[in-house]
């Protein structure tokens, strides 16, 4: 053992560790490691993250171990190291948190219950046996219970629960895994459920709809095998067509319901526990869950209450082996709201808004500070891609290539998120939703305020979409900050460039349903050359008419009629759609060009194909028809001469003509295969013509189509073109705010 005199002459380092390092067991990890390596000094939380002073003979070993094997929920973004004068300390201490300036650290996202806590919950001898709010520094709520940083109990919704002596002892013991676990509690001192497990399970087994309070809000839950209950849930929630997510006990149960590859299983079992879209198998689940689609949104339990419910449904066997066995019990778990409204989080709000929807409302007395839906991912090209980024993902920051001024970006109208930058980091909010109701707009403003508060950032500028009628745009116009308006598809491409830290001019392909173009046109199938704050439109899909405007997006048969008109077959529309009362009117509108705005939208091209093939002529929700078109694909095929490219315009009329004499199966294969080949040709020709680096950023909601995205990436690889598809944010409009922030943050506003 080193003497005081020896210690005084040894190296002393001050380390500032930035990243997700608060509330994840980082300080006890440091304390344990320092003691193991016979180091002296101290560790504390502060506004920068975690600050450490270490002194002794093994400081370099400490640094290596800290960075190679940090606690499971932590994320080290940077470690600043400097030498400081040695002292004559003889121990290593944990000091109280300090705060002398604006926060530079981040709170971690919520995490699924860890194996150690599961062992506690299902051990009859453990004092937390059967306790629905068990957690430790390696799991449990984080972001959804936190109102401010540093992440201390007093600044979470656990502040009102005074710990019992035993919990307090755990909380204060650096050797305990619950040391400074801010949500730490037990049955004697912590939150309580309003109903027993027996009551909840009994209601579910009786076919009732249960509103269940979770981490980021309430779920509406029903037995997924009970067809009548699922239909009743759809009717009460006013969700007619969109697929519903299903929760099962474990991977063995999930494998019974879906074909899962290793990446899908990894996503299912990760700490974030998102909904994973996978190819379904025949099962006893209600067919009303997916409404004819061959996919299923699956997730695993992530709170103690979820595990306890499945355990009870399995007959309450001893131990944890039941989790490794297939269980027949499955629950539809969908956001507790009426379609179009935000997720319910408050107990009183639940009783006010869900009384006519749920048969039983299960609450608890731990408040939810931040609304957060379940994240949704789909594995594309070997990696999980967000369709919705929320619980378990936010507020993980996205590193930027360079520091930009603090910028607030307010996103688009659909699938809205907001983004706030701080230094070289971009914080994209949880999914907010479509800004079509006063309550969702209220959630939007609530999210802006909370993100600004918890990051302690006062934005210096604000960015929004070009569209003047978006609620987010109007919000931005009312804020007294320099305003940057960003074209929709430029923002899509910039989001990819920001995530992958791409510098220099970059070709981008944006495929989606709608975005306002520079001259007021409807864009959505765009080849852009993006560079920092500027872009140039190099190409676009040949425009099609939209009979009736936006309504055509919900009635694909109208876009089918527009395709016939574009093919010079306007006189065939009434015969082709003889069962539609409005066919004569649509044909006349197209002929006379009345209320038929033109669009280059890839989404409307998909709708046109669906309309010609008779696939979902009238859709219940955005993207329904293209989802069913994708579902029909067995083996994509390419139509020779199926497209033309002239002056940057991609003309798919030869393919649309083929759709008029194809059956749905053949048409789906032909459409996807030919579109992929056409896009790869278009991109390759443009890169050559512009003499650009052989890379392309891919974004827009159409890239949620796995066949399209995966097929195009493969086709581009054969041309030695590197394709970048978003990982950190959705390719859909949920990623717009990141792109807006990156563009606006680089602008000179003087």
Answer whether 279's CB lies under 8 Å from 294's CB: yes
Encode 27-40: b = buried (16+ Cβ within 10 Å), e = exposed: bbbbbebbeebebb
pLDDT over threshold 60, residue 745? yes
Please compute the mean of the pLDDT values over residues 582-592 and round it to a whole number.
95
Q: Tell me the C-alpha distance between 702 and 627, whole Å.
A: 10
- pLDDT of 200 > 50? The answer is yes
Query: What share of the chain in percent tops pLDDT 70?
Result: 98
Cα 482 from Cα 744, distance rounded (Å): 10
How many C-beta atoms lie closer than 10 Å to residue 519's C-beta? 6
Question: Which residues, in sequence order, are bridge partners of residue 522?
Answer: 516, 599
Please choose, from the candidates 671, 725, 683, the residue with its C-alpha nearest in 3D space to the C-alpha of residue 703.
725
- Tell me the C-alpha distance between 23 and 411, whole Å: 30
CB 291 within 8 A of CB 280: no
First-to-last alpha carbon distance for the chain, in angstroms, is: 61
> Percent of the chain scored above 90 by pLDDT?
89
Per-residue pLDDT tens for 378-395?
Answer: 999 999 999 999 999 999
pLDDT, residue 21, reads: 87
Strands of the sheet with 40-46, listed across from one edge:
75-83, 12-20, 49-55, 40-46, 92-94
Confidence grade of residue 213 (pLDDT, cut at 50, 70, 90): very high
Rounded Cα distance between 724 and 713, Å, is 8
pLDDT at residue 103 in the model? 61
Q: How far is the C-alpha of 494 from the C-alpha of 726, rounded, in Å?
A: 11
CB-based burial of residue 452 (10 Å sphere; 0-12 exposed, 13-18 middle, 19+ buried)? middle
Q: What is the mean pLDDT of the chain?
A: 95
User: Where is 308: in which H helix or E strand?
Assistant: helix 304-313
pLDDT in tens, 674-701: 999 999 999 999 999 999 999 999 999 9
Helices (H) and strands (E) in the chain, counts: 23, 30
Question: What pLDDT was estimated at residue 452?
Answer: 94
Least confident of 98-112, 209-223, 254-268, 667-681: 98-112
Round to whole Å and give the CA distance between 584 and 689.
Answer: 44
Residue 102, pLDDT above cutoff 90: no
| Residue 602 · residue 547 · CB < 8 Å | no
The predicted pLDDT at position 7 comes to 57
Cα–Cα dist 109/374, whole Å: 12
Torsion of CA 630, 633, 636, 642, to 10 degrees: -60
Which tokens sit at 402?
A: 């360079």
The tokens describing 52, both together, are: 């450490």
Strands 644-646 and 649-651 come out as antiparallel
Q: How would residue 100 be classed by pLDDT, with cut points 50, 70 and 90?
A: low
- Name 570's Cβ contacts closer than 8 Å, sequence gap at least 6: 564, 587, 590, 591
Cα–Cα distance for residue pair 616/623, rounded to 1 Å: 10
The encoded tokens of residue 240 equal 């007619």
Tokens coding 439? 């309550």
* Least-confidence region, from 30-44, 93-107, 425-439, 531-545: 93-107
Contact criterion met (CB below 8 Å) for 473 and 464: yes
Quick check: 598 pLDDT over 80? yes
| Contact call for residues 550 and 542 (beta carbons, < 8 A) | no
Confidence (pLDDT) at 104 = 66
In the three-class reduction of DSSP (H, G, I as helix; E, B as strand; rest coil), residue 500 is classed as: helix
How many other CB atoms sit within 10 Å of the CB of residue 293? 17
Residue 334, phi then psi, degrees to nearest 5: -130, 155
Q: Do 231 and 207 form a contact (C-beta atoms < 8 A)?
A: no
Task: Judge whether residue 241 has pLDDT over 90.
Answer: no
Give alpha helix (H) positions in 45-128. 59-68, 115-121
Flag whether pLDDT at 2 surpasses 70. Answer: no
Distance CA 278, CA 291 (A): 15
CA dihedral sign of residues 386, 388, 389, 390? negative
Supply the pTM of this predicted model: 0.94
Chain length of the chain: 750
Mean pLDDT of all residues in 353-369: 96
In 3D, which of 711, 701, 702, 706 has the Cα closest to residue 673?
711
Strand pairing of 245-247 and 295-299?
parallel
Show the beta-strand stretches assigned E in 243-359. Answer: 245-247, 258-259, 275-280, 295-299, 331-335
Q: Is there a contact between 22 and 151 (Cβ–Cβ < 8 Å)?
A: yes
Coil, helix or strand at residue 15: strand
DSSP-derived letter for residue 572 is G
Q: What is the pLDDT of residues 529-553, one digit of tens each?
A: 999 999 999 999 999 999 999 899 9
d(CA 729, CA 495): 8
The pLDDT tens digits for 131-154 are 999 999 999 999 999 998 777 899
Q: Is the peptide bond before 150 cis (omega within 30 degrees of 0)?
A: yes
Q: What pLDDT score was predicted for residue 1?
A: 45
- Cα 461 from Cα 677, distance rounded (Å): 41
Does residue 450 contact residue 738 with C-beta atoms inside 8 Å? Answer: no
The pLDDT tens digits of the residues spanning 296-317 come to: 999 999 999 999 999 999 999 9
Model pLDDT, residue 240: 77
What is the reported pLDDT for 340? 77
């Amino acid at each position: 053992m080193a003497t005081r005199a020896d210690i005084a002459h040894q190296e002393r380092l001050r380390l500032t560790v930035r990243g997700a390092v608060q509330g994840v067991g980082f300080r006890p990890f440091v304390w344990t490691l320092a003691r193991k390596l016979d180091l002296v000094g101290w560790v504390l939380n502060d506004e920068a993250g975690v600050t450490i002073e270490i002194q002794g003979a093994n400081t370099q070993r400490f640094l290596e171990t800290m960075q190679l094997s940090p606690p499971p929920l932590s994320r080290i973004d940077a470690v600043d190291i400097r030498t400081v004068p040695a002292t004559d300390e003889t121990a290593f201490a944990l000091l109280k948190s300090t705060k002398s300036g604006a926060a530079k650290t981040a709170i971690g996202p919520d995490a699924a219950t860890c194996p150690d806590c599961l062992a506690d919950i299902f051990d009859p001898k453990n004092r937390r046996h059967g306790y629905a709010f068990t957690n430790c520094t390696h799991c449990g709520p984080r972001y959804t219970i936190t109102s401010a940083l540093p992440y201390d109990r007093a600044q979470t919704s656990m502040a009102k629960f005074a710990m019992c002596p035993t919990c307090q002892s755990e909380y204060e013991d650096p050797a305990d895994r619950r040391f400074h676990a801010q949500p730490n509690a037990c049955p004697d001192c912590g939150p309580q459920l309003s109903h027993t497990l027996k009551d909840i399970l009994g209601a579910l087994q009786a076919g009732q709809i249960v509103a269940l309070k979770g981490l980021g809000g309430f779920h509406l839950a029903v037995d997924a095998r009970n067809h009548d209950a699922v239909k009743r849930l759809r009717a009460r929630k006013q969700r007619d067509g969109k697929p519903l997510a299903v929760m099962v006990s474990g991977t063995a149960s999930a494998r019974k319901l879906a074909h899962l590859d290793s990446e899908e299983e990894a996503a299912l079992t990760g700490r974030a526990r998102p909904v994973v879209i996978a190819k379904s198998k025949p099962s006893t689940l209600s067919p009303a869950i997916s409404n004819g689609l061959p996919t299923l949104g699956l997730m695993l339990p992530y709170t103690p209450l979820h595990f306890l419910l499945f355990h009870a449904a399995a007959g309450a066997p001893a131990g944890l082996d039941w989790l490794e066995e297939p269980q027949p019990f499955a629950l539809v778990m969908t956001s507790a709201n009426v379609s179009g409204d935000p997720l319910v989080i408050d107990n009183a709000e639940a009783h006010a808004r869900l009384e006519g929807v749920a048969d039983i409302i299960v609450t608890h007395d731990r408040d939810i500070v931040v609304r957060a839906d379940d994240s949704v991912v789909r594995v594309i090209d070997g990696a999980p891609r967000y369709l919705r980024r929320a619980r378990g993902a936010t507020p993980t920051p996205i590193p930027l290539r360079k520091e930009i001024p603090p910028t607030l970006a307010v996103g688009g109208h659909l699938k809205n998120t907001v983004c706030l930058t701080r230094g070289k980091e971009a914080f994209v909010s949880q999914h907010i939703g479509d800004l079509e109701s006063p309550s969702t707009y209220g959630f939007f403003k609530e999210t802006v305020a909370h993100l600004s508060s918890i990051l302690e950032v006062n934005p210096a500028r604000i960015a929004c979409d070009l569209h003047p009628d978006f609620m987010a745009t109007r919000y931005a116009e009312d804020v007294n900050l320099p305003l940057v308006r960003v074209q929709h598809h430029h923002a899509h491409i910039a989001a990819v460039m920001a995530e992958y830290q791409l510098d220099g001019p970059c070709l981008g392909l944006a495929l989606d349903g709608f975005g306002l173009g520079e001259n007021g046109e409807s864009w959505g199938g765009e080849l852009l050359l993006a560079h920092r704050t500027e872009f140039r439109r190099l190409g676009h899909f040949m425009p099609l008419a939209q009979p009736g405007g936006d309504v055509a997006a919900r009635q694909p048969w109208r876009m089918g009629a527009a395709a016939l008109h574009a093919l010079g077959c306007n006189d065939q529309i009434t015969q082709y759609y003889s069962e539609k009362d409005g066919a004569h009117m649509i044909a006349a509108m197209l002929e006379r060009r009345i209320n038929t705005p033109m669009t280059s939208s890839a989404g409307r091209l998909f709708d046109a194909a669906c309309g010609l093939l008779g696939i979902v002529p009238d859709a219940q929700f955005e993207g329904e028809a293209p989802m069913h078109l994708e579902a029909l694909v067995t083996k994509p095929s390419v139509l020779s001469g199926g497209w033309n490219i002239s002056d940057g315009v991609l003309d798919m009329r030869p393919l649309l003509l083929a759709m008029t004499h194809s059956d749905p199966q053949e048409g789906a294969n032909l459409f996807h295969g030919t579109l992929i080949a056409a896009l790869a040709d278009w991109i390759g020709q443009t890169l050559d013509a512009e003499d650009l680096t052989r890379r392309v950023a891919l974004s827009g909601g159409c890239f949620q189509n796995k066949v399209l995205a995966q097929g195009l990436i493969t086709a581009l690889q054969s041309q030695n073109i590197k394709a970048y598809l978003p990982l950190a944010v959705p390719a859909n409009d949920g990623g717009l705010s990141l792109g807006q922030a990156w563009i606006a943050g680089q602008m000179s506003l003087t």
